[in-house]
């Protein structure tokens, strides 16, 4: 099963991907998490990506596509994966199609998580991330059991630099200009399933699981 979670920043892609991966026993491939790992390790890719991420812009397609291809080539992705945050441009979507074709695979479906912009701003402003395992929390909507501490791995929680108000605005603009056109692209391919992301976290998960179970295996 190759599934894509498509949606604006803050729509719940990371939150839902983690739950769906557990339920469906699939690896979670999150482009943002991969970039943040490169930043931390100060690799060449990390140093290139930093200037874009800090401004809320997209990292160039070539570098992003190469990183994802490398990740999808690893053995744990052989039975499929849940892609979170990739593709984000038309060029990335086309590259993914041809790469899956090379692997003799095809996309199972695209879950588009719809959330209005004012709700996204509220979510991103209160988001906290685990430094170790990258699990997202929210100070009001999804607080950890113990303050500043990850429920899953006891890692420290921190606020991402790009979850500051000016960068949030830039990221939403980028989403509407560069990523939202993919909704039409996947609709035309008959792969798009829209989910109302403005419900409780559990309700969104249940809705998504129902859709996924109705897709071809
Ligand atoms: P994305 O990966 O799409 O950017 P996240 O999964 O990181 O989104 O969620 C963004 C923020 O909103 C996080 O702080 C998360 O805890 C919170 N959140 C996610 N889903 C919901 C929801 N259905 N209701 C309320 N808050 C949510
Ligand atoms: P969010 O969860 O808020 O949607 P991500 O963690 O997915 O954010 O991404 C953080 C940043 O990493 C993006 O603002 C962008 O700079 C970069 N990035 C992530 N995925 C991609 C991608 N597919 N193409 C280009 N840049 C990306
Ligand atoms: Zn953790």
* Residues 10, 45, 173, 160, CA torsion sign: positive
One digit per residue, pLDDT tens: the chain, 217 residues?
999 999 999 999 999 999 999 999 999 999 999 999 999 999 999 999 999 999 999 999 999 999 999 999 999 999 999 999 999 999 999 999 999 999 999 999 999 999 999 999 999 999 999 999 999 999 999 999 999 999 999 999 999 999 999 999 999 999 999 999 999 999 999 999 999 999 999 999 999 999 999 996 5
Q: Which atom of ligand 2 is nearest to the CA of 136?
A: 2
Please state which CATH class domain 2-116+166-215 belongs to. Answer: alpha beta
Pocket of ligand 1 contains residue 28 by CB under 6 Å: no
3-state secondary structure of 26: coil
Q: Which atom of ligand 2 is nearest to the CA of 86?
A: 23
| Domains in the chain: boundaries | 2-116+166-215
Q: How far is the CA of 112 from the centre of ligand 2 (A)?
A: 16
Q: How far is the CA of 76 from the centre of ligand 1 (A)?
A: 26
Q: Which residue in 98, 139, 113, 104 sits closest to 20, CA to CA? A: 113
Nearest ligand, CA 52: 2
pTM: 0.97
Give CA angle at 176 (170, 178), nearest 5°: 90
Q: Which residue's C-alpha comes closest to atom 20 of ligand 1?
A: 12
pLDDT value at position 217?
A: 59
The two three-digit tokens of residue 145, written as one number: 């059991």
The two three-digit tokens of residue 123, written as one number: 């979510």
pLDDT value at position 203?
A: 98
User: What are the residues whose beta carbons fall under 8 Å from the beta carbon of 8, sequence distance 6 or more?
Assistant: 115, 117, 120, 172, 175, 176, 179, 180
Q: Which residue's C-alpha comes closest to atom 18 of ligand 2?
A: 32
């Amino acid at each position: 099963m190759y599934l894509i979670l498509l949606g604006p920043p803050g729509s719940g892609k990371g939150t839902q991907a983690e739950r769906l991966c557990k339920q469906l026993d699939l690896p979670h491939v999150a482009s943002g998490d991969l970039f943040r790992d490169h930043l931390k390790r100060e690799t060449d890719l990390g140093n290139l990506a930093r200037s874009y991420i800090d401004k809320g812009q997209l990292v160039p397609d070539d570098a992003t596509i190469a990183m994802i291809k490398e990740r999808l080539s690893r053995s744990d992705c052989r039975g499929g994966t849940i892609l979170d945050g990739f593709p984000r441009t038309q060029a990335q979507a086309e590259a993914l199609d041809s790469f899956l074709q090379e692997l003799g695979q095809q996309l199972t479906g695209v879950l588009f998580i719809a959330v209005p912009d004012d709700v996204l701003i509220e979510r991103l402003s209160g988001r906290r991330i685990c430094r170790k395992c990258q699990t997202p929390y929210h100070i009001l909507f999804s607080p950890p059991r113990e303050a500043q501490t990850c429920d899953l791995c006891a890692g420290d929680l921190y606020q991402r630099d790009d979850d500051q108000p000016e960068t949030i605005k830039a990221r939403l603009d980028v989403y509407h200009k560069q990523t939202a056109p993919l909704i039409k692209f996947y609709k035309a391919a008959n792969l798009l399933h829209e989910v109302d992301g403005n419900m409780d976290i559990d309700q969104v998960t249940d809705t998504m699981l129902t859709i996924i179970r109705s897709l071809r295996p």
